[in-house]
Structure 1
């Protein structure tokens, strides 16, 4: 919280790059490497919004190019969902997950100090271990939710664990989440 008692949370953006595959829709994921948070775990390409001068779509386009080499037109970015997340350590953040189905280029590892693998996975067969926050976002995306809460408890694992699934879906008015 800020000094005046208001919440101040980091804003981050997550790419849900989707393509058609042999087993249905596939999503592009990268495996975190080195000394970064959650090294060895799978996560969607993502990053932080830089200060007050950058909006979330601009941040997504920038982070996508920096991490994957893919060039995305801002007009091809689909607003998918927002996840209000709290990590096991108690820090909260707001994550904006965006669907992209059109881009220029071929995915490649552009930050080898932060990522050691990048692959397409069917949504029905996501890899493990995966960062729980990212898995929550992908599960919410697949359900059709527009807003999701993912408040982890102290001691919860960073990696997705069905026994510690803290995802709560908030459906759009007049809809139910599946």
Structure 2
């Protein structure tokens, strides 16, 4: 007698890389790094960022990456979650990115600690971001500036990695719990902090 399996094999579980992104603020400016020699988006600007390591929480990963990449020491209480974004690069796999806000400390200025992967650091106005940025990073910073806190940014396979004004904006803000209607924006005071 032969028995047939009436239950199909379960689909593989979805897994994603989790990455962290630093929004280091100096008044109305944000620190950006120019990628180099990485094999992905070289020559483009991006905020200091990296991957969460196995067994590490996102806050610890951000503290570690901030020190490794730009040499700033940030305490756990100095970080604020700014934005969570699920994103996918053209032809790539889905990732979940945690964007953290921290404020510049003149006693602990940033420095390029990874010159083999970064050709330079510079401050840029959050209200006038440069065009030569990685598209999802720029989308994340624009969402942060608008007060959006949960966002999807899903590239189509033919989209460029770099931000291009002519390419349809792939950013989709998600509505937060307790709100109705369209995504709301939080008012900010002059230095960019929520009121």
Same fold (TM over 0.5): yes
How far apart are the structure 2 equivalents of 1:8 and 1:35? 23
Match of 1:171 in 2: 175
Question: Conserved in 2, the CA contact under 8 Å of 1:42 and 1:130?
Answer: yes
Deviation at 1:105, TM superposition (A): 1.2
How far apart are the structure 2 equivalents of 1:106 and 1:128? 25
| Greater Rg by CA | 2
Question: Conserved in 2, the CA contact under 8 Å of 1:144 and 1:171?
Answer: no
SS at match of 1:71: coil
How far apart are the structure 2 equivalents of 1:102 and 1:134? 20
Match of 1:159 in 2: 162
Structure 2 residues not aligned, in runs of 5+: 1-9, 187-195
Structure 1 residues not aligned, in runs of 5+: none
Deviations 1:60-119 (A, max 9, x none): 000000000000011110011110001110411000000001545111110011101101
**Which stretch has the larger CA shift, 72-81 or 165-174?**
165-174
Structure holding more strand per residue? 1
Q: 2:44 aligns with which of 38, 41, 44?
A: 41
Question: Conserved in 1, the CA contact under 8 Å of 2:79 and 2:100?
Answer: yes
Match of 2:137 in 1: 134
Deviation at 1:163, TM superposition (A): 2.6
Deviating above 4 A after TM superposition, structure 1's stretches of 4 or more consecutive aligned residues are none
Structure holding more helix per residue? 1
Q: 1:19 aligns with which of 16, 23, 26?
A: 26
Deviation at 1:55, TM superposition (A): 0.2
TM-score normalised by L of structure 1: 0.90
